[in-house]
Amino acid sequence: MRFQSLIPSWVRHALIGAACVSATLGAVAPASANTMVIAATRTPGGFDGDALKPNTQNVVVQTYEGLTKYGYKKDPTTGRLEVDASDIQPHLAESWTVSQDGKTWTFKLRQGVKSPFGNELTSADVVWGWEKSINQKRTGAFIARVSSVSKVEPVDRYTVRFMLEQPSKIFLAALTLYTPSIYDSTEVKKHASAEDPWALKWIDRNTAGFGAYHLQSLKAGEEAIFVVNPNYFGPKPYYERVVYREVPNAGTRFTLLRTGQVQWTEELTLKQIVELKKDKRVKVESDVGTGHASARINPTIKPFDNPKLRQAMAYATDYQAINKAVFEGLGTQARSIVPPIIPGTDTEAWTFATDFNKAKSLLGEAGYPNGIDITLEYSGIFWFEEPLAIQLKDSMAKAGIRVALRKITDADMRSRTAPNRRDLGFFTFMDNPIVLDPVYALFLNAHSQGASNRNNYRNTDFDKIVDAARVEQDPVLRERLVRQAQRIHTGDSSWIMTMYPGVHEAMAPCITGYVWQPDYHERWRELSCKR
Partner 1 sequence: MKNGFQGFLLRRLLVSIPLVVAVLFVTFMLVRIGGQDPVALLAGPTASAAEHEAIRAELGLDRPLLIQFGIYLGGVIQGNLGTSWLSSGEVLDEIASRVFITLELLLWGVAIGAIIAIPVGLRAAARRGSLFDQTVRAISLTGFSVPTYWLGLIAILIFFYFLDLAPAPMGRISAAVARPEAITGSYLIDGLLAAQWESARSAFTHLILPVCTIAVIACAPIMKQARAIGAEVIESEFIRYARASGLGERRVRRMVLRNSLVPILTFVGTEIIGLLGTSSLIELIFSWGGIGQWGLQAILNGDFAAVQGYVLFAALLSVIVFLIIDIAVWLLEPRGRGTA
Q: CB-based contacts of 128: which residues, under 8 Å, 6+ apart?
A: 183, 185, 188, 189
Q: Kind and range of the H or E element at 12?
A: helix 9-25
Which is closer to partner 1, CB of 243 or CB of 273?
A: 243
In SS3 terms, 315-336 reads as HCCCHHHHHHHCCCCCCEECCC
DSSP 39-63: EESS--S---TTS--TTHHHHHHHH
Burial of residue 207, with CB atoms counted within 10 A of its CB: 0-12 exposed, 13-18 middle, 19 or more buried? buried
Least distance CB 443 / partner 1 (angstroms): 11
Which is closer to partner 1, CB of 111 or CB of 252?
A: 252
Which is closer to partner 1, CB of 85 or CB of 247?
A: 247
Specify whether the CB–CB gap between 395 and 317 falls below 8 A.
Answer: yes
Least distance CB 168 / partner 1 (angstroms): 16
How many secondary structure helices (H) and strands (E) does the chain include? Answer: 17, 21
CA quadruple 412, 417, 422, 424: dihedral sign: positive
Which is closer to partner 1, CB of 197 or CB of 367?
A: 197
Which is closer to partner 1, CB of 329 or CB of 380?
A: 380
Least distance CB 52 / partner 1 (angstroms): 5
Specify whether the CB–CB gap between 214 and 225 falls below 8 A.
Answer: no
Which is closer to partner 1, CB of 53 or CB of 324?
A: 53
Q: In Å, how far are 45, 515, 523 from 196, measured between CA atoms?
A: 19, 38, 31
Question: Which amino acid belongs to residue 185?
Answer: S
Q: CB-based contacts of 523: which residues, under 8 Å, 6+ apart?
A: 61, 62, 212, 515, 517
Least distance CB 141 / partner 1 (angstroms): 8
Least distance CB 251 / partner 1 (angstroms): 6
Least distance CB 29 / partner 1 (angstroms): 4
Least distance CB 406 / partner 1 (angstroms): 13
Least distance CB 362 / partner 1 (angstroms): 32
How many whole angstroms separate alpha carbon 260 and alpha carbon 30? 8
Question: Which amino acid belongs to residue 416?
Answer: R
Backbone angles phi, psi at 113, to 5 degrees: -80, 125
Which is closer to partner 1, CB of 404 or CB of 411?
A: 411
Residues lying near partner 1 in the complex (CB under 8 A) are found at 3, 7, 15, 18-19, 22, 25-32, 37, 39, 42, 45-46, 51-54, 137-139, 142-143, 201, 204-205, 219-223, 243, 245-249, 251-252, 255-256, 258-259, 261-262, 408-412, 414-415, 417-420, 431, 444, 451-452
Angle (CA) 453 294 177, round 5°: 60
Least distance CB 218 / partner 1 (angstroms): 10
Which is closer to partner 1, CB of 350 or CB of 440?
A: 440
Which is closer to partner 1, CB of 243 or CB of 496?
A: 243
Which is closer to partner 1, CB of 159 or CB of 432?
A: 432
Backbone angles phi, psi at 469, to 5 degrees: -65, -30
How many whole angstroms separate alpha carbon 195 and alpha carbon 199? 9
Residues forming beta bridges with residue 284, ordered by sequence position: 506
Which is closer to partner 1, CB of 245 or CB of 483?
A: 245
Least distance CB 487 / partner 1 (angstroms): 25
Least distance CB 86 / partner 1 (angstroms): 24
Specify whether the CB–CB gap between 218 and 46 falls below 8 A.
Answer: no
